[in-house]
Amino acid sequence: MSELADSPFLSGFVDLHAHTNESDGSLTPAELVALGKQMDLAALAITDHDTFAGYEKALPHARAAGLDLVRGIELNTRLYVDGGRTHRSVHLLAYFVNGEPSGEFTAWLEDERTERRNRNKALAKVLQANGMEVTFEEVEARGRSLAGRPHFARILVDKGYARSSEEAFRRYLAEDSPTYVARKSKTTEEVIGIVRRANGIPVIAHPIRLGFARDAERELIASFKRAGLVGLEIYHSEHPPLLQAYYHQLAKELELLPTGGSDFHGTVKPDIRLGTGANGNVRVPSEFLKGMRAFAGAE
């Protein structure tokens, strides 16, 4: 595990975006806590996709080690573009710095899980109808409670229907492929509202992936702010330093809290280090977390 560490001297810095093997990371919650402690992080947020299971499992280890652990989650939301004709996926981070989210949030998360299972069943049927031997049960066995298209992709590769995950997506799983099966999904604005009502702090993750030109991106983020958005992830492994400076300025102008994190996934994305990102491009000061806690306390 130590080969995943970059520098052991990160006191005064935090990492607010990291995944365990409860979603798509490689480290167990206990291993992630140990790594954060080894690097002397001032605080660590676990932000697995669609589940708090990693955070819950990590909590006793963090308490024993004296590591400040923050409850987070990364959510898939839908953004309609071209007048509603097409949509893309926007990742929203939600932080609960004052404890557990309220009932509405938990119930919604449960609905999302059911919706994804239904989609997986339908997708398996469509693939079978197109001559591919892929069963829902195999996919569930691979991806556990978070089984989804990446697990379909790996099975398609293993069985020789595609040479790579990218090819499996392009030919069978992507939105513009003939066998695509959509699942119902809430819009970014709706999910921002759900997070706020649950006393959470909604943050746009890695805005670079929104994929808009600057003016359009600024207008979009401003519209999210009007819907209740609180923060913008300015430090991220995929953000070069100049872009981080730009997003920091944008956050100031739109009165959004700056946040940041590596988006660490362990050996799944070996170039990304906990706390320091890719080639050391991430350093998140503890003041960012203090700002989030001050915001939550002020509500």
Residues forming contacts to Zn ion in the complex (CB under 5 A) are 74, 91, 205, 263
Q: Which is nearer to Zn ion, 22 or 132 (CB)?
A: 22
In the numeric block, which tokens belong to residue 292? 């989030």
Q: Which is nearer to Zn ion, 132 or 230 (CB)?
A: 230
Minimum gap (Å) between residue 288 Cβ and Zn ion: 17
Q: Which is nearer to Zn ion, 127 or 205 (CB)?
A: 205
Minimum gap (Å) between residue 153 Cβ and Zn ion: 17
Widest Cα–Cα separation across the chain = 57
Q: Which has the closest alpha carbon to 254: 184, 299, 204?
A: 204
Q: Which is nearer to Zn ion, 69 or 205 (CB)?
A: 205
Q: Which is nearer to Zn ion, 93 or 194 (CB)?
A: 93
Chain residue whose CB lies nearest Zn ion: 91
Minimum gap (Å) between residue 88 Cβ and Zn ion: 13
Minimum gap (Å) between residue 139 Cβ and Zn ion: 21
Block residue for tokens 């605080």? 43
Minimum gap (Å) between residue 32 Cβ and Zn ion: 13
Q: Which is nearer to Zn ion, 61 or 91 (CB)?
A: 91
Minimum gap (Å) between residue 264 Cβ and Zn ion: 8
The identity of residue 31, as a single letter, is: E
